[in-house]
């Protein structure tokens, strides 16, 4: 799984599905931090037209030029639809965000992705793997290592 995470983060053009209308929400903060880290993060939310001055797309298939990966930060009940969108758009990498609870992780979506040649990170938070994360993200990663749950 660590290799899949590294491959995902090696891509520079990443869609963030579920960017919030509220700039103080966690998924909006992660979106901005990905951009600050040098990623060409593309906002996707069917209920928003613009995020931080950038056009917000309603679906993955509408993004032009296409993205190299999709970070899904939505409730799990829409992950299967987004995974199908990724298949239709020809996306080759998907990360289903989860820090606690179920997050966006869906077993059926992961199976659909695998069946269509899409590499999947099913869970976890990108912050733990970005350079120079804030102390609580480092602590989260450290706790996962301590309890043997850090990706290998």
2-146: which CATH number, 2.40.30.10, 3.40.50.720, 3.30.230.10, 3.30.530.20? 3.40.50.720
DSSP 3-state percent helix, strand, coil across the chain (nearest 5): 40, 20, 40
C-beta of residue 11 within 8 angstroms of C-beta of residue 38: no
The number of angstroms, rounded, from the C-alpha of 26 to the middle of its chain's C-alpha atoms is: 12
What predicted TM-score, i.e. pTM, was given to this entire model? 0.88
Per-residue confidence (pLDDT) for residue 113, from 0 to 100? 98
Give the per-residue pLDDT at 135: 44
Ranges of each domain in the chain: 2-146
Mapping DSSP to helix (H, G, I), strand (E, B) and coil, where does residue 109 land? helix
- Chain centroid offset of residue 140 CA: 18
| Three-state DSSP state, 84 | helix
Q: What is the dihedral of CA 31, 34, 40, 43, to 10 degrees?
A: -10
Report d(CA 113, CA 33) in Å as an integer: 26
Q: Is the dihedral of CA 30, 36, 41, 46 positive or negative?
A: positive
Chain centroid to CA 39: 12
Please name the residue ranges forming H helices in the chain: 2-10, 26-36, 79-89, 107-115, 135-146
| 152 residues of the chain, pLDDT tens digit each | 778 989 999 999 999 999 998 889 989 999 999 999 999 999 999 999 999 999 999 999 999 999 999 999 999 999 999 999 999 999 999 999 987 677 899 999 999 999 999 999 998 888 777 766 554 555 555 555 556 665 66
């Amino acid at each position: 799984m660590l290799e899949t995470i590294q491959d995902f983060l090696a891509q520079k053009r990443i869609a963030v599905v579920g960017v919030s209308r509220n700039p103080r929400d966690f998924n909006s903060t992660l979106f901005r931090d990905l951009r600050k880290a040098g990623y060409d993060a593309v906002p996707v939310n069917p209920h928003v037209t613009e995020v931080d001055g950038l056009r917000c797309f309603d679906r993955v298939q509408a993004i032009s030029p296409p993205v190299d990966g999709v970070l899904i930060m939505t409730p799990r009940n829409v992950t299967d639809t987004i995974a199908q969108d990724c298949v239709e758009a020809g996306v080759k990498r998907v990360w289903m965000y989860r820090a606690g609870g179920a997050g966006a992780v869906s077993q059926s979506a992961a199976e659909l992705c695998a069946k269509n040649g899409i590499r999947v990170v099913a869970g976890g938070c990108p912050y733990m793997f970005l350079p120079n994360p804030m102390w609580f993200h480092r602590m989260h990663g450290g706790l996962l290592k301590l309890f043997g749950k850090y990706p290998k």
